[in-house]
A and B are shown apart, each in its own frame.
Chain A
């Protein structure tokens, strides 16, 4: 708990307070210029592209949506995207819980290196992630011949898409849980054990309730990235229409076919999902940061 912040997050009150305090107040002209620069930059680089998507999608009227939701390729790409998420998110949750427990509740050497390695996928280009899977599972990769012999298809198929997406979303749940569980320490778990709780009971009744908002937060971020991943999936998918095209890949194909209305219709659907993600994230964030237990 930080004793420094006098008001919790959104900070409206704090901002107001700071502007009445002569020591922390700027002249109104300075304030205006900074606001115009900051918010203006935000409007041009973030807000306008968002608005563009909806304007372009509605340019031809609502009919485009009618077409898009009846198009079998679009439908199958929606299905594939959700299928991918269905695999990737639970895998990341499982990993995040294991990593959080091992790293936050125990002391061992090499911990800091382990944390750094978990963060590694954040700084690797998704394209390189896709390439590295090709080198392992592709027809000419390490496991290629063996996979062909056993008639298993990984690249240019759903398993490859799931794996590449797992790579790019790898740190999302884990880093959220590791830092949260580290900040919570292990006293509560020790107290539970002293009071006679088994390991499983301790985890389910003490640890899990304490990290649930952090877990949900990580899942939201992971989910958004998993649905939107483009570079890595682009390499391993093979772009087979109706089979291995996720929603973002479908956007690319429609766009490259000059079906702009269709591309923007699908894009606007993804935009709505992104906005819902931000809304839920904003709401969960307030719960995580307020430390509200009830």
Chain B
């Protein structure tokens, strides 16, 4: 970062940038680097033992697998919901529009107990599914339900503004060239939405991988079956196994960084797309 070479017209650059850097380092970078330093103090065997034991591997499979499925489901229905909100008029639309952000505003623990009540065998949905032999609460399916809950707004809120700004002229042009609605949707609308959809997917996925509060109540937390990785970290911590917890955390952090990188690249593409339409 280069400091100003010449006098600047507006004051305050140096103090505000310094404060930004100091605060960022103190609150975010130093603690996170502690994770990597601690993890690097383990020898390879101990690290592999802690980060890749069968129980931990099972938790990765669940966390990443369920997150992937949840984000995919959210992508499909999130796009449809965004389409509903932008393109159709229906009673209660404003309420739906405002409530889509509920998972952002609602404490995850509250979501967790609400979902487990709803999907337990004597809950409203759990009761409906029980006669068919489908169990949701205390199974991996429960994890999936919780991750769908927390991820939905990411997709809706990244796609919605792009759809709102999408100039009708493109669709009119497609129609004038003889395209039907389905062809227009496939060849004109969806390609324009793609970067935003991908961003929403990646954000929902990133959030789901790290999610803890809403999942643990409904998951049942059975080792190797419905135990998510963040919970495993907490379990290790409670057993004072700092090294084990840190090794798992380091693996997850690396994945987070890669996701962040992907999200940033996608967002740059969304921005480029946006300016091309303007």
Contacts and interface: CB of A to CB of B under 8 A. Distances in A.
Q: Do chains A and B touch in the complex (CB under 8 A)?
A: yes
A52 B81 contact: no
A116 B29 CA distance: 12
Q: Give the interface size class of chain B.
A: 35 or more
Interface stretch (B45-53, B162-170, B190-198): B162-170
Nearest to A264: B113
B20 A99 contact: yes
- A interface, over-half SS: helix
A130 to B, nearest CB: 8
A272 to B, nearest CB: 11
A15 B245 contact: no
A46 interface: yes
B57 interface: no
Given A231-B213, A264-B113, A39 B84 contact: yes
Interface stretch (A18-26, A68-76, A145-153, A208-216): A18-26
A123 B249 contact: no
Interface of A: 2-5, 9-12, 14-16, 18-19, 21-27, 30-31, 34-35, 37-39, 41-42, 44-50, 52-53, 56, 94-95, 97-99, 101-103, 105-106, 108-110, 114, 116-129, 131-136, 138, 140-142, 163, 166-167, 170, 186, 189-190, 193, 199, 202-203, 221, 224-225, 227-231, 234-235, 247-249, 251-252, 255, 260, 263-264, 267, 270-271, 274-275, 277-279, 281-282
Q: Which 9 pairs show the lowest CB-CB distances between chains A and B?
A: A125-B210, A228-B107, A230-B213, A199-B11, A231-B212, A132-B31, A23-B175, A274-B105, A49-B114
Interface of B: 1-4, 8-13, 15-17, 19-21, 23-24, 27-32, 34-35, 38, 77, 80-81, 83-90, 93-94, 96-111, 113-115, 117-118, 123-125, 145, 148-149, 152, 164-165, 167-168, 171-172, 174-176, 181, 203, 206-207, 209-213, 217, 230-231, 233-234, 237, 242, 245-246, 249, 252-253, 256-257, 259-260, 263-264, 277-278
